[in-house]
Amino acid sequence: MGYRQLATRPVVGWGLVAVGARLPVAMAPLAFVFLVRERPGGSALGAGIAAVYVIGEVVGAAVLGPRLRPVRARGQLAGGLAIGACAFAALGLLPDAHPVVLGALAALAGAAPAAAPGGLRALLTAQLPEALAVTALSAESMLTNVVWAVAPALVGALALGLAPPLPLLLAAVLMAAATAGLWALPVGWPADAGDRRGASMGRTLAGAWPIYLTGAAAMALLALAELVLPALLEQRAIGVGWAGPLLAGYSVAAATGAVLYGARGTWPGSLRAQSLVLLLGVTGCVAFAATAGSLPWIAGALLVAGLLQSGVQVSRTLALREALPPSTHAAAYSVLYAVVGVGYAASAALAGAVQSAAPPSVAVLVGVGLTLLLVAASALGELRGRRPAERPGADPSLAEGGG
């Protein structure tokens, strides 16, 4: 199954809604920094507001995602996006508000629409045949990486070239447009709670914890690449200005990797094995970048890491679909989103703590060690768990590499 079969009006409409919902999320952290940077202690305040926003996302995804109801998911998603749009608009219109007010609005902007990534993914796959699942999720990964590649430049151009509040006002407009666009999508997706064989939603979701752990490990590596790279370049006597192009190259490579993963469709080994092997490859690339002494080697390592990272993302999502019954998929996507946020935050905190007492290269290597521990725990969990085909509602046809 090729990408041409995704070129339909419903899928294109879904893509526009997804961009409107996800670009504000990608813009938000940097937009908060620019919003308050002229204040005394603005950099620290901006980082604090961004941290509150991420916490809101994590809590919102974990709480709201499992509460999505397939038969009326569109209305729930629209409500969350509408509240998020209002919160972003308030942040843009009240740049001089008290820090507590800004923090509360940021938490609301993060939490209210946090079920949207999982819900939109469920809406995408529900309107396509199972044979297109790999292609569709690869296309979604490509779209996400493009959005994250564009967002920093867009925020910088608006905040520095025009006015600091503009990125947040644009985020509000985009999220409002996504809210309106949702009504062109299906009202929900078919789901039969009986496929859980009497198990509660929470217990069923908890059974996929090794997959969530690989998500946290993958995002921990991304945090290392994003947050420690400027200091690492400075340690190697390389211009810090290269950090932006290197991270943009990483995102472009990730988008390319997603296209390549979906183009082939079926890869050797089980989905979970693919995810773990690719994650080990990304880990090796990040460790190599930490020890490399010149710009070309660092750039090459990050490009290969990005290429492999998208395979980790897609195979992890497919493995989650394989491991859990269909009625839990949207909730599982949201739980994964929340765990990924925790992985990013934990790695960021660890890197910051280590950098206060050691060079940036050591901080990266310590983060790599944390990632390897998470990978090992996930692999042990997989070995102790049941075979995917034995899980309630699992589709045995996916067990050989993604349908």
User: Residues near 140 by Cβ (< 8 Å), separated by ≥ 6?
Assistant: 18, 121, 124
Residue 112: C-alpha distances to residues 30, 230, 278, 381, 388 (Å): 19, 32, 33, 32, 33
CB 209 within 8 A of CB 320: no
Confidence band of 398 (pLDDT split at 50, 70, 90): very low
User: Cα separation of 319 and 387, whole Å?
Assistant: 12
The pLDDT of residue 193 is above 70: no
Q: How many CA atoms lie within 13 A of 333 on its CB side?
A: 23
CB 24 within 8 A of CB 84: yes
User: Cα separation of 175 and 78, whole Å?
Assistant: 10
Q: Phi/psi class of residue 395: alpha, beta or left (left: φ > 0; alpha: ψ in -120 to 50)?
A: beta
CATH architecture of 201-385: Up-down Bundle (1.20)
The pLDDT of residue 294 is above 60: yes
User: Cα separation of 301 and 295, whole Å?
Assistant: 10
Tens-place pLDDT, residues 86-133: 999 999 999 889 989 999 999 999 999 999 988 898 888 888 887 788
Neighbours of 264 (CB within 10 A): 12
Q: Considering only CA atoms, which of 187, 204, 196 is closest in space to residue 69?
A: 187
Length of the chain counted residue by residue: 403
User: Residues near 64 by Cβ (< 8 Å), separated by ≥ 6?
Assistant: 76, 80, 111, 114, 115, 334
Find the radius of gyration of the CA atoms of the chain: 20
CB 155 within 8 A of CB 30: yes
DSSP 8-state assignment for residue 387: P
User: Residues near 373 by Cβ (< 8 Å), separated by ≥ 6?
Assistant: none
Quick one: pLDDT at residue 78?
A: 93
CATH topology of domain 1-189: Growth Hormone; Chain: A; (1.20.1250)
Tens-place pLDDT, residues 233-286: 888 888 877 877 888 888 888 888 888 888 776 777 788 888 888 888 989 998
Domain range summary for the chain, segments of one domain joined by +: 1-189, 201-385
Q: Considering only CA atoms, which of 270, 18, 253 is closest in space to residue 137?
A: 18
Q: Considering only CA atoms, which of 175, 180, 177 is closest in space to residue 83?
A: 175
Confidence band of 339 (pLDDT split at 50, 70, 90): confident
Host H or E run for residue 259: helix 243-264
Range with the largest mean pLDDT of 15-19, 52-56, 234-238: 15-19
Rounded mean pLDDT, 30-57 = 82
The pLDDT of residue 168 is above 50: yes
How much of the chain, in percent, has pLDDT values that exceed 90?
20
Range with the largest mean pLDDT of 59-63, 243-247, 394-398: 59-63
Q: Is the pTM of this model over 0.85?
A: no
Place of tokens 């059974």: 207
How much of the chain, in percent, has pLDDT values that exceed 70?
93
Confidence band of 386 (pLDDT split at 50, 70, 90): low
User: Cα separation of 91 and 104, whole Å?
Assistant: 10
User: Residues near 376 by Cβ (< 8 Å), separated by ≥ 6?
Assistant: none
Quick one: pLDDT at residue 402?
A: 38
Quick one: pLDDT at residue 344?
A: 78
Quick one: pLDDT at residue 392?
A: 45
Decide if 1-189 and 201-385 have a common fold: yes
